[in-house]
Chain A
Amino acid sequence: MVDGTENDIKPNGNYSSDNNLLIDCKNVDVFYGDKQALYNVSLGINEKEVTSLIGPSGCGKSTFLRCLNRMNDVIDSCSISGNIKINGEDIYNPHIDVVELRSRIGMVFQKPNPFPKSVFDNVAYGPRLHGKITDKDEMHHKVEASLVRAGLWDEIKDRLNEPGTSLSGGQQQRLCIARAIAVDPEIILMDEPCSALDPIATAKIEELIDELKTNYTIVIVTHSMQQAARVSQRTAFFHLGNLIEVGDTENIFRSPENEQTEAYVTGRYG
């Protein structure tokens, strides 16, 4: 198993990152009741990069993603051991404020899930919640900026009062990204954000991910190898709850070290 800290990557890839390690996971085990979903996963994620998690269904990549913003807390039977640090801070420390943690880590889900509110209220939801913005004009700027950044403003600037659910699937997903951006997170987690979208909408989201990486650290779970290759700088391959290999995306796809990885990325199994 490859320990995915930065030091391990530099020697074996064409790509070398100048970025710092932001998320550092060590020996993470996750159980759902008696069933173990993740085995001793250690993975580092760099700042302002796109890291993609690939692997066959049920391999634990989504579980891992949900560990990073403690969304697994919602599931009663789920228990986690190991150590996950963000910016050197242990996020499973009992003193940590989960709500505050989640406001620093945005999440985009598999199925677009806009709230049954207007487009404007969807984007303003987070800022209002955290009481960051109380001024009306300022809120308007914030919503506009978030929608611009999500590449949605031009399409829907006249439809801000329409319900978010009336947009098309791709627009809804970008609305969800705008909603996540509006709380100024450091990290954005994406759980198969394009699996419910058509190729054109997917292309737009991918473009967007590429732009967003200048400001945010992005971790994306995807089933599409092409997508991982297109958008990410680093790729981690999971299989049956184990982290098999992690490295620069190019290396993972061109010259994987592990046989299983090779078999998966070349489409021979998985």
Chain B
Amino acid sequence: MPNYHGLFVILSSLLPCIIFLIVFISIDGFIKGVIIQNHLPNSLILLGQEEVDFSVSILRNNIHNLQSILSLEILSTDSANSLYNYYFFYRAGFLTLTICITTFLAYLAGKKLNVRFDARRNVEKILKFIFFVFSIVAVLTTFGIILSLIFETVRFFSQVSFSEFLFGIHWSPQTAIREGQVGSSGSFGAIPIFTGTLLITAISMLIAVPLGLYSAIYLSQYARPKVRNYFKPILEILAGIPTVVYGFFAALSVGPFIRSTGESLGLTVSTESALAAGLVMGIMIIPYVSSLSDDVMTAVPESLRDGSLALGATKSETIRKVIFPAALPGIVGAILLAISRAIGETMIVVMAAGLAANLTANPLSAVTTVTVQIVTLLVGDQEFDSPKTLAAFALGLVLFFITLALNILAMVTVRKYRERYE
């Protein structure tokens, strides 16, 4: 098969070339640094390592253009010219090298080809390797993120005690930048913000699960195909609306509405309330529940539905007793996805529920969530080793464990169900 032979040559020449490129890009900055350092005037080097590093880094960013190297006024015109030339040759040399390698490999691969050469199987091997590398990249990235979280969290706990963070009920992460400022210590009790997250998530799920599930049941079981074809995309648009839009909808319309309704009932409601954020978030999450549930319920084999109907079950009995149980693993999955979406949502909460870390279960009061706190901790100027900044990593790690636990819970539930039903 000639196309396999062609594919084999392309893969076996381009693949090493791409690997070479990746390696090169990762050491590119280092090479540039070496070139630049050799051009720095002695007077600058005498100023110390810090100054040198600074100059190298700004030169590195401007090395592509002779004019901008000159405009930095670090180097004399001669050495700037020389640097630019060096850089140019380095680039050209690299390009030539890449082309040479690729051509050489293509030549080698081409030489291998003959009538008896099994290109098809060799292509299969190469593709297998490519897929393996891609999956490894995904796994390694995950581990990298977790490790960096853990690393920073450990640094955080060297400054704030573990029990204070996990069991403290007072959250006020403002630390003093100058000595003697008010609130200099900061307190990092994370309980209020986790209960806040829990409260808002619970409210949004109370909205999203019934609405999403029931509309999924309608769309997958009752609606005519034509209705379904229009309804489903419209419902999915909900997921495409930017969360900022939901946020100001929650803050400007829903919040004040809840407040005035509450007041007319004689309740004290703050304009920023967990209820407002939860309600709007619930609406936003509906398509996550409905779309997936709809898919899994449509995927339940027709034969099961027919079997139940033929036994004299009504449509709703069939849905309740056959289709819903058969689709439950998928539905549980959809709900869990929605929950993790709710936990991760930030913008709506910032705008509608506020920043106050109140420890309360009252949906009418202002609360804050983990993600919102992470944002506020990292916005603005701060040092990278202050407990305030590091607290964000600790919060992130705990959040990660919570979602992990949720996923495991879901898997266990689904497996238990499967044992019973399949």
Instruction: Give the interface of A toward B (CB within 8 A).
Output: 69, 71, 74, 76, 99-107, 109, 111, 113, 115-118, 125-126, 129-130, 163, 165-166, 176, 179-180, 183
Rounded to whole angstroms, the CA-CA distance of A158 and B7 in the bound complex is 58
- B178 in contact (CB, < 8 A): no
Q: Is the CB of A130 within 8 A of B307?
A: no
- What 1/0 flags go to B223-254 for Cβ under 8 Å of A? 01100000000000000000000000000000
Q: Is the CB of A113 within 8 A of B307?
A: yes
Rounded to whole angstroms, the CA-CA distance of A101 and B310 in the bound complex is 9
Q: Is the CB of A71 within 8 A of B325?
A: no
- B266 in contact (CB, < 8 A): no
18 A-B Cβ contacts within 8 A? A71-B306, A99-B314, A101-B312, A102-B311, A111-B303, A113-B306, A115-B322, A115-B326, A116-B304, A116-B422, A117-B325, A125-B321, A126-B312, A129-B311, A163-B421, A166-B422, A180-B310, A183-B312
- B313 in contact (CB, < 8 A): yes
Contact of B311 among A74, A106, A111, A163 (CB under 8 A): A106
Rounded to whole angstroms, the CA-CA distance of A71 and B310 in the bound complex is 7
- Max count, chain B CB within 10 A of own CB: residue among A102, A113, A126: A113
- What 1/0 flags go to B338-381 for Cβ under 8 Å of A? 00000000000000000000000000000000000000000000
List, in ascending order, chain B residues with CB within 8 A of A117's CB: 325, 421
Task: Beyond the given A74-B305, A102-B310, A115-B308, please list 7 additional residue pairs across the A-B interface where CB-CB is below 8 A.
Answer: A71-B310, A102-B309, A107-B310, A116-B325, A116-B421, A129-B312, A129-B313
Q: Is the CB of A69 within 8 A of B313?
A: no
Interface of B is mostly: helix
Q: Is the CB of A126 within 8 A of B311?
A: yes
Rounded to whole angstroms, the CA-CA distance of A126 and B312 in the bound complex is 7
A180 shortest CB reach to chain B, Å: 7
- B301 in contact (CB, < 8 A): yes
- What 1/0 flags go to B288-313 for Cβ under 8 Å of A? 00000000000001011111111111
Q: Is the CB of A163 within 8 A of B422?
A: yes
Q: Is the CB of A109 within 8 A of B306?
A: yes
Q: Is the CB of B309 within 8 A of A183?
A: no
List, in ascending order, chain B residues with CB within 8 A of A179's CB: 307, 311
Rounded to whole angstroms, the CA-CA distance of A106 and B306 in the bound complex is 11
Complex interface residues of chain B between 172 and 211 (CB less than 8 A to chain A): none
Rounded to whole angstroms, the CA-CA distance of A113 and B300 in the bound complex is 12
List, in ascending order, chain A residues with CB within 8 A of B310's CB: 69, 71, 102, 105-107, 109, 180
B330 shortest CB reach to chain A, Å: 13
A5 shortest CB reach to chain B, Å: 27
A107 shortest CB reach to chain B, Å: 4
Rounded to whole angstroms, the CA-CA distance of A74 and B222 in the bound complex is 11
List, in ascending order, chain A residues with CB within 8 A of B301's CB: 113
> Would A116 and B326 be within 8 Å (CB), given that A102-B311, A129-B317 are in contact?
yes
List, in ascending order, chain B residues with CB within 8 A of A105's CB: 310
List, in ascending order, chain B residues with CB within 8 A of A74's CB: 305-306, 309
Task: Report the count of interface residues on B (CB-CB < 8 A).
Answer: 23
Rounded to whole angstroms, the CA-CA distance of A216 and B305 in the bound complex is 24
* Least CB separation from A76: chain B residue: B224
Q: Is the CB of A125 within 8 A of B312?
A: no
* Least CB separation from B307: chain A residue: A113
Q: Is the CB of B303 within 8 A of A113?
A: yes
Q: Is the CB of A180 within 8 A of B224?
A: no
List, in ascending order, chain B residues with CB within 8 A of A104's CB: 312
Q: Is the CB of A115 within 8 A of B307?
A: yes
Rounded to whole angstroms, the CA-CA distance of A100 and B313 in the bound complex is 9
List, in ascending order, chain B residues with CB within 8 A of A116's CB: 304, 325-326, 421-422
Q: Is the CB of B325 within 8 A of A100?
A: no
Rounded to whole angstroms, the CA-CA distance of A61 and B307 in the bound complex is 19
B315 shortest CB reach to chain A, Å: 9
Q: Is the CB of A100 within 8 A of B312?
A: yes
List, in ascending order, chain A residues with CB within 8 A of B224's CB: 76
Rounded to whole angstroms, the CA-CA distance of A194 and B128 in the bound complex is 42
List, in ascending order, chain B residues with CB within 8 A of A180's CB: 310-311
Rounded to whole angstroms, the CA-CA distance of A69 and B307 in the bound complex is 12
List, in ascending order, chain A residues with CB within 8 A of B322's CB: 115
- Max count, chain A CB within 10 A of own CB: residue among B305, B307, B311, B422: B311
List, in ascending order, chain B residues with CB within 8 A of A129's CB: 311-313, 317, 321
Q: Is the CB of A183 within 8 A of B311?
A: yes
List, in ascending order, chain B residues with CB within 8 A of A100's CB: 312
Contact of B312 among A76, A102, A111, A163 (CB under 8 A): A102
* Least CB separation from B313: chain A residue: A129
* Least CB separation from A179: chain B residue: B311
A188 shortest CB reach to chain B, Å: 10
Rounded to whole angstroms, the CA-CA distance of A163 and B325 in the bound complex is 13
Rounded to whole angstroms, the CA-CA distance of A130 and B303 in the bound complex is 21
Rounded to whole angstroms, the CA-CA distance of A100 and B311 in the bound complex is 9
Q: Is the CB of B303 within 8 A of A109?
A: yes
- What 1/0 flags go to B261-302 for Cβ under 8 Å of A? 000000000000000000000000000000000000000010
List, in ascending order, chain B residues with CB within 8 A of A166's CB: 422
* Least CB separation from B224: chain A residue: A76
3 nearest A-B residue pairs (beta carbon): A103-B312, A107-B310, A113-B303
List, in ascending order, chain A residues with CB within 8 A of B326's CB: 115-116
Rounded to whole angstroms, the CA-CA distance of A107 and B311 in the bound complex is 7
Rounded to whole angstroms, the CA-CA distance of A76 and B305 in the bound complex is 15
> Would A109 and B312 be within 8 Å (CB), given that A129-B317, A163-B421 are in contact?
no
- Max count, chain B CB within 10 A of own CB: residue among A115, A163, A183: A115
Rounded to whole angstroms, the CA-CA distance of A165 and B225 in the bound complex is 30
A55 shortest CB reach to chain B, Å: 22
Q: Is the CB of A176 within 8 A of B307?
A: yes
Contact of A99 among B312, B321, B422 (CB under 8 A): B312
B414 shortest CB reach to chain A, Å: 13
Q: Is the CB of B312 within 8 A of A130?
A: yes
A184 shortest CB reach to chain B, Å: 11
Rounded to whole angstroms, the CA-CA distance of A99 and B326 in the bound complex is 22
> Would A115 and B313 be within 8 Å (CB), given that A125-B321, A163-B422 are in contact?
no
List, in ascending order, chain B residues with CB within 8 A of A115's CB: 304, 307-308, 321-322, 326
List, in ascending order, chain A residues with CB within 8 A of B317's CB: 129
